Chains A and B, each alone.
Chain A
């Protein structure tokens, strides 16, 4: 015997794609690409739109398809263009550009059902690329919406009925995804995580991220002040230290070329000398990606994360670029002595004054060094000058020329923290006192909902460290001298001329409460979802107290949960989609059919009731008006739902029981 074993797969794949299919896959693709269009090279975006538009117009029949042989040189040109743009095809941005261009070409040559399915898979794949650019709650929400749209397209393609309305297709897709989410959660929590990476990652320098720079010139930090972005969030184990002690140490700069401060190369510190008698502050920082290597710690860090090191300037540097959210724990001593063992070479470096520039500053410093007996007197005198003379604090300082420090100190007297820090450090060097600039953040806003600090880019700050005999490196913040409010109550009150406030607490209580909650949600999202790795998984599952300790336990738990959830789905579906009860009128007609069969009129299995009646009337010369009436009533009841009432069915039942088989 012959039975068709060939599944009709290849045939179905070769079917011509319908216009609906092309249209739905087009908007799915555009939506799944949308966030990328804002940062991709313009020509990639342009080409994508061109290809999609061409294919859409082609499906309407206005233009012909581009022949396949012409696509080959196009693809080659596309690849070369991407290479010309980035000078590589490896890495996040070039990889994405290449994938986009190739998908656009795929669009141009799509004809069959198979092509459409491949495009849908590419859309699914493109979704993942967004997470290389950010993993916030909003992007996650966007992923779910897009996933729904792509899945509804996939369903449309497989439904084989273009008359089914869009709404119903979305409903089917929503149901599918709603059923998938619990399974996804189980997999996310319980699939044993492997500590990555599996292979070496190329360390890409990524542009376009707000954050501190590794150099400092006038205006560098005031640019950051206008950014509302979160730099990092901090959870303290104990009490949160007072605002004026919250100096978050970042890049330390000792080189000065007359205008710009920059860092110098340093040896790693092998051991940190800490005073055991002093209290430690322990805290955990969740650092937003900033594309550089440095980490922030409270002045002065003594215990640092294992995947980082500290140099002699007490700046913490990560082993890898911070391109993803980074969570690390460390501890600091808020009272410290630093740099008593500093090398003479370094002190000389910290005392260099470029004499070709800023002659007035030099003269003033030199005057002070003659006038005062001790270094600390010079420091105090300088700070006093900032607080008593008419120095103003502004976000929009006048532009400074070649002798930036001179112009600031003696003419404009309006500036931001980098002006004060820079001029102060130069005055010290002029007076022969080693000094350096520390950049970082100052302060932070307490989120009462989550009891953690939010440190924003607008909290960016620069201050000065001065080396004093027997005291070592001592922190002085000249900005605090000019405007004590700045340090005591935060930046915003000092900025009278530009009251841009980012602090949530400054808004009306209702809004601020909502915003604290939203920020807390983001913090928890970072903490629970984005940081859910090998270690966190182990900790989380142990804390559940279900005895899940090893990888083996996880796999057993995974199997149990999967069996449970699929079993639940199956039972619910079995109940909800159960066969309808056999209607009463069907039971009655079955009784009649039994009667007829006893008198020799058997319904064939391949007939339905009507065909059977037609046959016995036709072939057997069966003429029974009562029987005809019964069947008519039956068909009326069956197809007119409003007739399915008890009274009607009772009458029908009587009709059938009254009927007697002939003979």
Chain B
């Protein structure tokens, strides 16, 4: 077994060296393509051998014709199957992050500029079921491969197998393609209203009043493109002072700290799930928030970039090795 795994490792290394990961699109040229008979290909060969023996034994000319025609069909299939994959370009779009246990959709853009149609191009990741597509001449298509998001974290997908057996299924042509594209899986959010209220109450007393859109009129300022017309001071406009927007001051909700230490779940993963839920909810409320993880603190802020930053940090917390391989099996 040791010898076998030694060769296995050498093989892996060889394949990895031949198929470096890239963020760019991969062109399937001759050197990247492999082709072998399928089990049915071998069965087909055995059937022909039987036919050939029968033809020789019975000296039956038409049996020879049939045998040789099937042999020719096999040879032509070998070429056609290889040709069906040759010259394709494939790239992986950066996938939208998903929550754990949701479906991760990987979108591949497959294109070619050849004047020929392609059929039954499959893509497979590890042991997941493959998905198939066809391509008209000179066109491109997007192939969606759904994968289970098993574990939170930031990953790199391992190699994908792009393959085809068209037209006869006697041969399996394939290529390994590896993309340097990050895949981010957030923890599954664990909503807990009680926890949220507790934290909010605790922090409310300490928090400062923030300036935001409120109920009390606070003054006028220059109108900016995209602001609601409701808040334009038409009075000032009528007075010839130009477009001015009324600003209001109110008792805005206080900014929140989402702190690892406040989480009630017993396990690390539970705590992270609770934090994820809180980040999402606080963001929806339009409040500012910050995240405190052991050894890491993200300042209180708001906006989509901040949300992403917070979720990513929570997702990758304690992930032993960043950019490790995306696994799709239940662990």
Residues of A within 8 A of B (CB): 1-9, 11-13, 117-118, 121, 124-125, 127-128, 131-132, 135, 139-140, 143, 147, 151, 154-155, 157-161, 164, 172, 176-177, 179-184, 187-188, 191, 193-194, 196-199, 201, 324, 529-533, 566, 569-570, 573, 576-580, 582, 604-606, 608
Contact = CB atoms under 8 A, between A and B. Distances in A.
Given A1-B12, A579-B87, A159 B116 contact: no
Given A4-B176, A181-B72, 20 more contacts: A1-B158, A2-B12, A8-B161, A8-B163, A9-B39, A143-B66, A154-B168, A159-B167, A164-B134, A183-B68, A184-B69, A199-B57, A324-B58, A566-B79, A576-B115, A580-B113, A580-B138, A605-B91, A606-B25, A606-B91
Contacts of B61: 135, 529-533
A159 B58 contact: no
A90 B68 CA distance: 26
B53 A198 contact: yes
Nearest to B120: A160
A187 B59 contact: no
Contact of B115 (A6, A118, A151, A580): A580
B144 to A, nearest CB: 15
Contacts of B181: 606
Interface stretch (B121-129, B214-222, B259-267, B291-299): B121-129
B43 interface: yes
A530 B59 CA distance: 9
Interface in B64-93: 64-73, 75-77, 79-80, 83, 87, 91-93
A4 B80 CA distance: 24
A180 B77 CA distance: 9
A125 B67 CA distance: 10
B195 interface: no
A131 B47 CA distance: 16
Given A8-B130, A198-B56, A577-B114, A140 B62 contact: yes
Contact of A533 (B23, B59, B114): B59
Which among B36, B62, B68, B163 has the highest number of chain A CB atoms within 10 Å?
A: B62
Contacts of B126: 4
Nearest to A185: B68
B88 to A, nearest CB: 11
A4 B125 contact: yes
A582 B111 CA distance: 14
Given A176-B73, A579-B87, A1 B130 contact: no
Given A160-B120, A180-B76, A131 B71 contact: no
Nearest to A582: B113
Given A131-B63, A143-B66, A161-B134, A4 B169 contact: no
A198 B138 CA distance: 53
A183 B62 contact: no
A135 B92 contact: no
A161 B66 contact: no
A577 B80 contact: no
Contacts of A532: 61, 64
B24 interface: yes
Which among A124, A135, A158 has the highest number of chain B CB atoms within 10 Å?
A: A158
Contacts of B307: none
Nearest to B38: A9
A125 B325 CA distance: 47
Given A4-B158, A11-B129, A128 B51 contact: yes
Given A3-B159, A7-B174, A121-B44, A324 B59 contact: yes
14 contacts: A1-B325, A4-B176, A5-B15, A7-B172, A132-B60, A154-B168, A158-B169, A161-B120, A176-B76, A181-B72, A187-B71, A570-B79, A579-B114, A580-B115
A125 B161 CA distance: 33
B328 to A, nearest CB: 11
Contact of A176 (B54, B120, B168): B168
Contact of B169 (A117, A147, A198, A566): A117
Contacts of A127: 66
Given A155-B167, A159-B120, A566-B79, A194 B56 contact: yes
